Amino acid sequence: MERPKDLSITPRTAIIIIVLFHFVGLVGLLVPASLPLFLQLVPWHLLLMLLVIVLAHKNFDGKFVGFIALVFVSGIILEWIGVHKKWVFGDYAYGEVLGFKIFDIPLTIGINWFLLIYAAGVTMQRSRLMSIIPRVIVGALLLVLLDLLIEPVAIQFNYWHWTDNIIPFKNYYCWFLVSAAMLFVFEKFGFKKQSIAAPVLLATEFVFFGVLCLVGLL
């Protein structure tokens, strides 16, 4: 499966789109008058980020498509288990902000799983860590740190909510284990070294949710 060259974008273009749309989204969510509109745009923002990352990926092939599908489907299944069985993450349910749902699980959450795992995987791929296990562990820890910032924002904006508004520790250690497993799979897929676009996405997510978290505390 070969992607036509005119359907790819440069790392610079990808970075500009990532930073620009996160900045606009941040402002939109912080201004009360524009908040309802920008909450409606959240699923479209995730779809745009998916498109950017896919177009920026080097060597678009069946293996890459397979990885996207694997993470997406695994994410949806684990979220279904979490929401309906409470076996992973804890006792929670999704609101309406993330868009269309199947069995109470928004499809965009599978997209978000891919974006986060891929971004962390590429970040670790580009790091100075030479062996797989340290890369997997550090990458999973980064995603747990990001989740610490995401959770308060997600609750505030009704992405999802927890029973009694208590985020259980189980959520974080399950997310660490799942992230580590998926990052290990990322390593085993053996993707060619990728551009800085995905690490920029990860860093931008930290800034985006960090600012929203900070403002929420003020």
191-210 pLDDT, tens digit per residue, is 988 999 999 999 999 999 99
Per-residue pLDDT of the chain (218 residues; tens, 9 = 90+): 556 666 789 999 999 999 999 999 999 999 999 999 999 999 999 999 999 999 999 988 999 999 999 999 999 999 999 999 999 999 999 999 999 999 999 999 999 999 999 999 999 999 989 899 999 999 999 999 999 999 999 999 999 999 988 999 999 999 999 999 999 999 999 998 899 999 999 999 999 999 999 998 76
Q: Quick one: three-class SS letters along the chain?
A: CCCCHHHCCCHHHHHHHHHHHHHHHHHHHHCCCCHHHHHHCHHHHHHHHHHHHHHHCCCCCHHHHHHHHHHHHHHHHHHHHHHHHCCCCCCEEECCCCCCEECCEEHHHHHHHHHHHHHHHHHHHCCCCCCHHHHHHHHHHHHHHHHHHHHHHHHHCCCEEEHHHCCCHHHHHHHHHHHHHHHHHHHHHCCCCCCCHHHHHHHHHHHHHHHHHHHHHC
For the chain, the domain total comes to 1
Domain residues for 193? 5-217
How high is the pLDDT of residue 218? 60
Q: What is the pTM of this model?
A: 0.94
Dihedral pair phi/psi, residue 141, rounded to 5°: -65, -40
